Structures are given as structure tokens and as C-alpha cells.
Amino acid sequence: MKVRLRLFASLRERLGTAGEDLDVPPSVTTVGALREHLRLRGGPWADAFAPTRNVRAAVNQDMAQPAAAIKAGDEVAFFPPVTGG
């Protein structure tokens, strides 16, 4: 299954990319599973998507929880929490 991965703010800076079209295995069917899949890439990906990191997600521009389903063609965005002043 192919999804469009988008990364924002410090995640984009840390990982050196704004995103990619990504083929994921059939077992990756939720936002949480995608996050774990990305963490298993190792290196800076392991750090950026570590369970202790607070990372928000959106599917097709709607905020999503880890249990949210993803399907082929979805855009999944990850970004750090945003604070206002």
C-alpha cells in the first residue's frame, strides 16, 4: 500500500525531508503502526518517532489518533505539538 508521508517543523529539519511517497507493508493499517514502521528505520527516525516523543498526526488534513485507520492513497502528516503565545 502506498501513502503520502508529510513531515513538518522540527521533524522535517531533523529528518532532512518534507516527506515522500511510501510503500508500507500490509500490516501497517493505522497511524500508530505507521509511526512504528518509521521508527524502525533506525538512526534519526528512531529518535524522531520514539515512544517518548510527543508527535501529532493528521490523515488527509484531519487530526488523527494512533488508532486511526489509513488506506492506500492517504496523506499522513506528522508534526510536533504547536504552542501559541
Following CA atoms 44, 4, 54, 47 in sequence, which dihedral angle do they give, to the nearest 10 degrees?
-10
What the chain holds in terms of domains, given with CATH numbers, is: 2-79 (3.10.20.30)
Tell me: the pLDDT tens digits for 5-24?
999 999 999 999 999 999 99
The mean of the pLDDT values for the chain is 95
Residues pairing with 23 in the sheet: 2
Tell me: the pLDDT tens digits for 22-52?
999 999 999 999 999 999 999 999 999 999 9
Evaluate if residue 62 carries a pLDDT over 90: yes
Question: In terms of Cα–Cα distance, which of 16, 18, 15 is closest to 7?
Answer: 18
**CA dihedral over 4, 11, 34, 64, signed as positive or negative:** negative
